[in-house]
């Protein structure tokens, strides 16, 4: 099995996960008395020479519970710019070719008691091939039981594959989702992993299985938290707290986030890349 075959297998999983997540989020909207649903916009990656650069589908829903949620899937191919190639695992100025497929999700919630969330998993190959991704919870108003439930489900997913994964990837998330100029974490963490290399078929199958379980953990944990909090009443002060907190989220994504930089540096769809930004935000 070559990397193109592996990319197709990974792509099919990411698309199927997208379909299940979107169906679950729409079901939550129905439970809240809303008929909101996802609008899907396909896009093609533009290349300098007019060759096929792949593309993706951007899905966005604005509803009663989900003030704005975007779920993107994409499969793109091409060459990194010379100054960017040396920063990517397995790529170089001499070998700038890449293929990447993945799913990316960000949800900003109407109720400040419901946490925002981010999830992304991906498969890339350059001169190497690897999986990466993770999920992290971002509450404007933290509830310890929600944080513990989210982490417990990710811990279980990790434990099924390697007893060292959870502590390692939890620490990585804590270090990654940090805003140095504010000296604060973006949220209450989760897991973040990268460069799970697929040097042979058993490694690909093993790392794909782990990546699938991360997706399943997210789909199991986050909707349960949404349903627990979505009917809570909130005050104007709590809404103001949410809007100011969102400013920190924006600052992280525009200044530090690797995925945002990757999309901008590889000719991705601008609307899909910036889908992570909230619909309304304030700075104090």
Say if CB 66 and CB 25 are below 8 A apart.
yes
Angle (CA) 210 212 216, round 5° = 115
User: Whole-angstrom Cα distance, residue 113 to residue 238?
Assistant: 8
Q: Read off the tokens for 2.
A: 């070559």
Contact of 143 with 180, CB cutoff 8 Å:
no
CA distance 267 to 46: 6
Q: Are residues 38 and 24 in contact, defined by beta-carbon separation less than 8 angstroms?
A: no
- Using DSSP, state whether 118 is helix, strand or coil: strand
Question: Looking at 95, 108, 113, 118, which residue is catalytic?
Answer: 118
- Which residues 6+ apart lie within 8 Å of 248 measured at CB? 179, 182, 184, 186
Return the residue matching tokens 């809404």.
Answer: 239
The verdict on whether 118 is a catalytic residue reads yes
The residues annotated as belonging to the active site are 118
């Amino acid at each position: 099995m070559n990397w193109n075959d592996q990319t197709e297998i990974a792509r099919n999983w990411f698309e199927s996960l997208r379909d299940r997540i979107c169906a679950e989020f729409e079901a939550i909207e129905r439970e809240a008395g809303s008929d909101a649903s996802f609008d899907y916009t396909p896009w093609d990656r533009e290349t300098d020479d007019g060759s096929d650069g792949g593309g993706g589908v951007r899905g966005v829903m604005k509803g009663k519970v989900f003030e704005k949620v975007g779920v993107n899937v994409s499969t793109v191919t091409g060459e990194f710019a010379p100054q960017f190639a040396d920063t990517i695992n397995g790529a170089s100025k001499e070998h700038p070719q890449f293929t990447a497929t993945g799913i990316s999700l960000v949800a900003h919630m109407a109720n400040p008691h419901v946490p925002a969330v981010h999830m992304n998993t991906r498969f890339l190959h350059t001169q190497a091939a690897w999986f990466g991704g993770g999920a992290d919870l971002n509450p404007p108003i933290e509830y310890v039981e929600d944080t513990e439930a989210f982490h417990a489900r990710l811990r279980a997913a990790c434990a099924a594959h390697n007893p060292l994964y959870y502590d390692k990837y939890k620490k990585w998330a804590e270090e990654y989702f940090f805003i140095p100029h504010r000296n604060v974490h973006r949220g209450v963490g989760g897991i973040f992993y990268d460069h799970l290399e697929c040097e042979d078929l058993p490694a690909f199958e093993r790392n794909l299985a782990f990546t699938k379980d991360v997706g399943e953990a997210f789909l199991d944990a986050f909707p349960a938290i949404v349903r627990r909090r979505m009917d809570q009443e909130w005050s104007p002060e709590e809404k103001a707290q949410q809007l100011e907190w969102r400013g920190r989220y924006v600052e992280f994504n525009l200044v530090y986030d690797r995925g945002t930089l990757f999309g901008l540096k590889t000719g991705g769809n601008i609307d899909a890349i910036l889908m992570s930004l909230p619909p309304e935000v304030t700075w104090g």
